[in-house]
Amino acid sequence: MLTIPTSHGLILAGIIFVLGLVCVLVRRNIIFILLGLEIMFNAVGLAFVVAGAKWGQADGQIMFLFILTTTAAEVSIGLALVFKMVHHFHTLDIDQADRMKG
Amino acid sequence: MTNVVFYIAAAVAVLSTLMVITRMNAVHALLYLIVSLQAVALIFFLLGAPFAAALEIIIYAGAIMILFVFVIMMLNLGPPAIAKERLLLKPRMWVGPAVLAAVLLSELFYILANKGGIAGIVEVTPKAVGLVLFGPYVLGVELSSFLLLAGLVGAFHLARQE
């Protein structure tokens, strides 16, 4: 039995996730949007580990590993896109890139 | 007593995440985000997941944040960057993250000194994680390698100068 209630861990994960969501929705700097995505990924990983700790099983940590892998791939692509964007628009403001080409 | 440690670490995590989303300077936000990740790693450790805690520090706070630092540094070239660097070295820029990190460090010392304090939590050892990872989840490991390869090829393609 956990000494820390599972619901408190999940509430913490929820709070951090919402903070990341606010960061993505409010900030217009593309670096901060990527940071907000990181915060959200991290919150989801926290929720998985809390759930895994409740049952004493390794599955939660394994899902965290997969989330870590996804984050690494996402960040490498995202930062490459940041470079492309700075090259094209000479700014980090995401609103400058709101037109599609086709 | 573990409860108090958990709630302090949770407060540090929420506070530093709040500071991340309100900073104007990306480097300051990164400093606070690293503290937030460290707080989450401490919570993993408390929850009996030392392997996840170590990976959180090594991969998130280490590798992924370094990627962000690389990009920010490459985008800030020239004399304005030097002036900005001088501004970064002022104490009031790093005292906030330093205080929060000191809180986490003292908590870590407390946990390590009272190993019995985390009784009641089933610790899932790295060995157990590895056995399950390469047992029932081996297909997921293969798919992760595909994903990483796709990320590598995609980043190479996007960053190429045409």
Q: Where are the alpha helices (DSSP H) in chain B?
A: 2-22, 26-46, 50-55, 65-75, 79-88, 91-113, 126-133, 138-159
Tokens 């939590």, residue?
A: B121
Of residues B37, B48, B55, nearest to A53 (C-beta): B48
Residue A2 lies in a domain: no
pTM over 0.95: no
pLDDT at B5: 85
CB-based contact A87:A36 (threshold 8 Å): no
Number of domains, chain A: 1
Range of the structural domain that residue A40 is part of? 10-94
| Mean pLDDT calculated for residue range B44-62 | 90
- In tens, the pLDDT along A81-91 reads 888 888 888 87
Give me the CATH number covering residue A33. Answer: 1.10.287.3510
Question: For residue A1, what pLDDT band results from cuts at 50, 70 and 90?
Answer: very low
Residue A23 lies in a domain: yes
Distance CA A16, CA A77 (A): 24
pLDDT at B40 over 80: yes
Whether B154 contacts chain A with CB within 8 A: yes
Of residues B60, B71, B151, nearest to A77 (C-beta): B151
The shortest C-alpha distance from A99 to chain B (Å) reads 19
Residue A4 lies in a domain: no
Residue A101 lies in a domain: no
Residue A99 lies in a domain: no
Distance CA B13, CA B22 (A): 14
